[in-house]
């Protein structure tokens, strides 16, 4: 458990967008996909996924439709909209900038050595 990192506030939305950008998924599928692409390194409370999904749905970044899952159960499938794709790119860029900045700030500086 300790190997898993807590999510930073606001990053769940980005992860959901990223997960869904690889193809339509139902809620549980989103969870599995995030686990898979993060290499199981991130801890997400399962139910907390849904307020995030609905928030994105309401902002028009996702669209949803009922369908049948691979387990033959009824499930709601989420898909990225054009706006959602654009937002994903923007957020990814800004995250990368932030991460680079933080990483370089935290990296050992020459004078420290």
Partner 1 sequence: MRLIDSLRSFVSTLFHRAEIDREIEEELRSHIQHRADDLERGGLPRAEAERRACIEFGGYQRLKEESRDALGGQFGEGLLQDIRFALRRMAKKPGFAIVAILTLTFAIGANAVVFGVLNAFILRPLNVPQSESLYGLWRLPGDMSESYPDYLDLRDRNHSFESVAAYNVMQAALDTGSDPSRAWIEETSGNYFDALKLEPYLGRFFHGSDEHGPNSAPYIVLTYDYWRSHFQGDPSVVGRVVRLNKFPYTIVGVGPPEFHGTLIFFNPDFFVPIVNHAQFDETDLNNRGNRWVFMTLGHLKAGVTPAQAIADLNSVGASLEKAYPKDDPKMRFKLARPGLYGDYIGRPVRTFMTALMLLAGLILLAACANLGSLFAARASDRSREIALRLALGSSRKRILRGLFAEAILISLVGGAVGLAGSVALLRALSVWQPISRWPLRMSVNPDVKVYAVALFLALASGLLFGAVPVGQVLRTDPYEAVKGGAVETKRGRFGLRMSFRDLLLVVQIAICAVLVTSSIVAVRGLANSLHNNFGFELKNTMLVETDLNMAGYLGDKVPPMQKRMIDALAAIPGVETVGLGDQVPLGDTQPDSNVFTDSTTDLRPANAATNSIMFKISPEYFQAAGTALVSGREFSWQDNKDKPRVAVVNRQFARKIFGTEAKAMGAYFKLPEGARVQVVGIAEDGKYGSLTEDPQPAMFLPILQSPSNSAYLVVRSSRNPEQLALAIRSTLRNLDAGLPVYIQTRFQTLDAALFGPRMATISLGVLGVMGAMLSVVGIFGMASFSVSKRLREFGIRIALGAQRRELLQAALGRTFRLLAFGSAVGMLLGLAAGKVIAFIVSQATPWDPIVLGGVLVTMLLLGLLAGWIPARRALATDPLLLLREE
Binding mask 10-49 for partner 1 (x = CB under 8 A): ----------------xxxx-x-------------xxxxx
Nearer to partner 1, 11 or 96 (CB): 11
Under the criterion CB under 8 A, does residue 75 sit at the interface with partner 1? Answer: yes
Under the criterion CB under 8 A, does residue 7 sit at the interface with partner 1? Answer: no
d(CA 90, CA 2): 31
Applying CB under 8 A, what is the total number of residues that bind partner 1? 23
Nearer to partner 1, 82 or 105 (CB): 82
d(CA 78, CA 75): 10
DSSP string computed for 39-78: TT-EE--GGGHHHHHHHHHHTTSEEEEEEE-TTS-EEEEE
């Amino acid at each position: 458990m300790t190997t898993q990192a807590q999510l930073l506030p606001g990053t769940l939305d980005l992860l959901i967008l990223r997960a869904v950008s690889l193809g339509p998924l139902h809620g549980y599928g989103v969870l599995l996909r995030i686990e898979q692409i993060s290499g199981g390194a991130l801890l997400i409370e399962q139910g907390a996924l849904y307020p995030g999904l609905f928030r994105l749905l309401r902002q028009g970044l996702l669209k949803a439709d009922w369908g049948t899952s691979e387990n033959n159960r009824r499930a709601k499938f989420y898909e990225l909209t054009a706006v959602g794709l654009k937002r994903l790119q923007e957020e990814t860029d800004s995250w990368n900038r932030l991460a680079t900045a933080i990483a370089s700030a935290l990296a050992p500086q020459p004078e420290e050595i």
